[in-house]
Structure 1
Amino acid sequence: MAKPHVLVIPYPAQGHVIPIMELAQRLIKQGIRITVINTEVNHKLVSNNWSDKEGFGDLMQMVWIPDGLEPWEDRSDIGKLTLSIIQTMPHKLEELVNMINKVDSCKVSCIIADGCMGWAIKVANKMGIRRAAFWPASVATLASILSFQKLIDDGFINKKGIPIKHQIIQLSESMPPIKPENLGWASFKDVATIESSFLLAKECEEASRMTEWFICNSTTELEAAAFSLYPKLLPVGPLLASNRLADQAGHFWKEDPTCLTWLDQQSPCSVIYIAFGSFTIFNKTQFEELALGLETSNKPFLWVVRPGMTKEATLDYPDGYIERVGCRGRIVSWAPQQKVLAHPSVACFMSHCGWNSTLEGATNGLPFLCWPYFADQFHNETYICDIWKTGLRLDKNEEGIITREEIKSKVEQPDQLPGQKSDLVLHDKRESRSPY
């Protein structure tokens, strides 16, 4: 009897690829054959940075289909990338499925697609293939997407997803509140990107009505209210929580393991870990304020400064900065984050509040300093600061800058940082930690 053959399709962003790759590996352990389909650019990145990809034998293969953009075009332009994906990838996926079924005795039996790739669910439905959607982010964010028509009817957004009312949205009494401008698709700076992102939201909602399963990288312990609002959603997460110390698949950049050796040399619960994911971009002023805030805090820190994190072509630290922070500050381009967050020297996590980072921090009982950038990160900040009460917001000044004084103040107030063991710590519970 032929093995089930599942095609897995992530949205082409770091925070989407990593959890769906973890899901793929879980399915392989059940004897299911998996083909992971990335865009060409991301296929090369994932393949180059995953050392264990050959360990699954014929149960795992990785292929790519084009996203429609030329190699030199800017894929951080989310609006442009979104429209290109919708126009190009459905036909290419259909061609790939037909080719696999023609030449491979193990025909495609199911497609699991990221909820932001709802077009793939439509392709599976058209071809008569079983299908499931996968949601890598918070269910609160997904609930707002599935409720988009209600948001239109209630006057919060127009038919193109643009916020038109500034009243707080609360989908149910127990759901975290959200400002209309912080909805996942509405948190971008320009109207064109909001409108194209809203197309993904509408396709996600439409695809949800074509799926046999809608599986979510979350758990009812974390998001009881959101799951009760949409009982069809199936919790299977947190996928990375039980794999905290293993090497992850799906990274776009090479991890720097030497930072773990540096952490070994620090005192327990002393280090600030700073990481903002794969999309956050700072202007020169904000980058300098962050650098100086970490310096003046007089705390040891591990700071992830990935390529492309600033608008300038080259990183521009304040004059003499690297020499002044010396061995107290460690800066890397990409870190083995789960291993860092599990390290006993780490005291708190300054984060963009991406869902993977949120789950990883909660799993390790860490308090957060929250610095959301866009999309679902504002929902997650609300969970951390207002619902779970495991972190603090970093507040912007009138110019929209989080100043060095604000950073220093929040870092130096351990009485405000929740230091007790959180009830949210999942699976491998750790000892109570008190910052500093």
Structure 2
Amino acid sequence: METQVQLSCRQPHVLVIPFPALGHVAPLMKLATKIAEHGIDVTFVNTEFIHAKIIASMQGKAENSSSQIMLVSIPDGLDLQADEREDPHKLMTEDPQADTECTACVIADISVGWALEVAEAIGIARAAFVPFGPGSLALSLHIPKLLDAAIIDPNGFAVLNYGLISLSNEIPALNRNEYTWSFPTEPNIQKIFFGSTCATVQAFKISKWVLNNSVYELDSPACDLIPSVLPFDSTCLSWRDKQAIGSVTYVAFGRFSILGQEQLEQLALGKIVEWAPQENDLGHPSIAWFLSHCGWNSTMEGLSMGVPFLCWPSFADQHHNRNYICDVWKIGVQLLPDENGIITRQEIQINVKALLKNDGIKGNSLKLKEIARKILVEGGSSFRKFDSFISQIKVLRC
């Protein structure tokens, strides 16, 4: 038995822990697949609910690099008396599905910093995965300075006479309701969200690597502010394929947005589904525009497909991403609510017509699509950085 353990430890093994929300799980699963393609074994940990969804979505698919990915689950919740509630160290070290003795590296969503802290405590190399944009990360990392300068209070609220935060002349400024932790109408929720955002600073500090889905060439000012650290409803597809080229506005609001009945009625008639393969859809010839909540995954996917945006941000980093889309990259327009807080069908219609007449936005979208393509091919900036990360993982030993 000892000989078998020693042999298994010669192969680098990575443990991946996402934040338990599908918008966070999806990009980490893509990353895990790319890592597995380099011959590295990966264990991917999900809560039982999300684990079941992933297993169901994989039914009938041919085996490829995913055969090197072991999918394991942990309970969706713990008993009130469970020791793991006070000591998450036990959740990782006592789970029979996770062989931490042979784990060379833990990659965890920066929102679950406790996993990185446990990895540090038991001497495992750590990589923090950042599911939002570099501008939002830079803002989070500057929270201590904002507190020291009394620009924000201990709960993340803007102090009197302050409101607009600008980290650099080249980065869009944010007003007091657009901070990534802002919930203007829910102060108690904002306190919780601000505390969680502050925790990312510690998670960043204890990580050897920070991984982020971004394009350095498009956001170098924000990147340079970050310290260096070394089965779905398929009917939507057949419906989409029947539409004329450039005739469809793709609408997606993410997992956490809530629309009231009055607001929902303002949207155009179309095909409504619980989930759709967004990246695949955005590359389809029928898609003309992307009406988006401006979450970071959606921002990167729309940008990489060259689709202009109709921006409808709601909370967290979405306002910051909207500023980049509309003001910096100039690949979209902002939808504005009326006096009742409703984005009307007339507002959508006006901006769709504006996009039709604006060749500059479409041209910028295609230029950024080409930049995003080039960074991923051999010799591109993202290709080189990911290749360097893989090389460092391969020399790790448990």
TM-score, length-normalised on structure 2?
A: 0.82
CA distance in 1, matches of 2:349, 2:318: 23
Once the two structures are superposed, residues 294-329 of structure 1 have per-residue CA deviations (whole angstroms, 9 ceiling, x without a partner) of 25xxxxxxxxxxxxxxxxxxxxxxxxxxxxxxxxx3
Q: What is residue 333 of structure 2 aligned with on the other side?
A: 392
Secondary structure (helix, strand or coil) at the match of 2:348 reads helix
What is the alpha-carbon distance in structure 1 between the residues aligned to residue 63 and residue 185 of structure 2?
A: 41
**Aligned residues of 1:90 and 1:120 also touching (Cα < 8 A):** no
Q: Contact 2:249 / 2:289 at 8 angstroms: preserved in 1? A: yes
The whole-number CA distance in structure 2 between the counterparts of 1:174 and 1:92 is 41
For residues 145-184 of structure 1, the aligned pairs below 5 Å read 145-165=140-160, 166-184=162-180
Q: Pick the aligned partner of 1:66 from 70, 75, 78.
A: 75
- Please give the alpha-carbon distance, in whole angstroms, between the structure 2 residues aligned to 1:128 and 1:368: 44
Q: 1:195 to 1:68 in 2, by over 3 A?
A: farther
For residue 37 of structure 1, what is the aligned residue in structure 2? Answer: 45
Distance 1:132 1:105, change over 3 A: closer
Q: By how many angstroms is 1:189 displaced?
A: 3.7
CA distance in 1, matches of 2:118, 2:77: 17
Counterpart CA distance in 2 for 1:169 and 1:100 is 47
Decide whether aligned partners of structure 1 residues 155 and 415 sit closer, same or farther in structure 2, where only a CA change above 3 A counts: farther
Task: Compare the two structures and name the one with the higher helix fraction.
Answer: 2
Query: Partner amino acid for 1:256?
Result: D
Give the C-alpha shift of residue 94 in structure 1.
3.5
For residues 182 and 42 of structure 1, what CA distance do their matches in structure 2 show? 30
* Pairwise CA distance, 1:8: 0.6
Counterpart of 2:236 in structure 1 is 259
Per the alignment, in what secondary structure is the counterpart of residue 271 of structure 2?
strand
- Say which of 105, 123, 130 aligns to 1:128: 123
TM-score for both structures, normalised by structure 1:
0.76
Aligned residue runs from structure 1 range 17-416, under 5 A: 17-51=25-59, 52=61, 55-56=64-65, 59-68=68-77, 91-92=87-88, 94-99=90-95, 104=99, 107-165=102-160, 166-187=162-183, 189-232=185-228, 254-290=231-267, 294-295=268-269, 329-413=270-354, 414-416=356-358
Q: Distance in 1 between matches of 2:14 and 2:220?
A: 29
Runs of 4+ in 1 over 6 A off after TM superposition: none
Q: Distance in 2 between matches of 1:390 and 1:57?
A: 35
Q: Encode CA deviations 1:90-140: one digit per residue, 9 max, x unaligned.
A: 734534334459x85971221111111111111111111111111121011
CA displacement, residues 171-196 of structure 1 (integer Å, 9 cap, x when unaligned): 11111211232222223642222122
Q: 1:425 aligns with which of 369, 378, 396?
A: 369
**SS of the residue 2:249 aligns to:** strand
Contact 1:119 1:203 survives alignment (8 Å): no
Distance 1:200 1:31 in 2: 35
What is the Cα-based RMSD across aligned positions, in Å?
A: 2.6
From the superposition, tell whether residues 412 and 281 of structure 1 become closer, same or farther in structure 2 (CA, over 3 Å).
same
Please give the alpha-carbon distance, in whole angstroms, between the structure 2 residues aligned to 1:361 and 1:204: 26
SS at match of 2:289: strand
What SS does the aligned partner of 2:132 have? coil
Q: What amino acid sits opposite 1:153 in the alignment?
A: D
Q: Structure 1 unaligned runs (5+)?
A: 71-83, 235-253, 296-328, 430-436
| Kept after mapping to 1: 8 A contact 2:291/2:311 | yes
Extract unaligned runs of 5+ from structure 2.
1-6, 375-398
- Over 3 Å counting, the alpha-carbon distance change for 1:163 and 1:94 in structure 2 is farther
Number of aligned residue pairs: give it. Answer: 358
Residue matched to 1:298? none
**Aligned match for 1:8, one of 11, 16, 27:** 16
Residues 36, 66 of structure 2: 8 Å contact kept: no
Q: In structure 2, do the counterparts of structure 1 residues 105 and 260 end up closer, same or farther at CA, with 3 Å as the change threshold?
A: closer
Q: Measured at CA, do residues 97 and 256 of structure 1 come closer, stay the same or move farther in structure 2, by a change above 3 Å? A: same
Secondary structure (helix, strand or coil) at the match of 2:111 reads helix
- Specify whether residues 130 and 357 from structure 1 end up closer, same or farther in structure 2 by C-alpha distance, changes over 3 A only: same
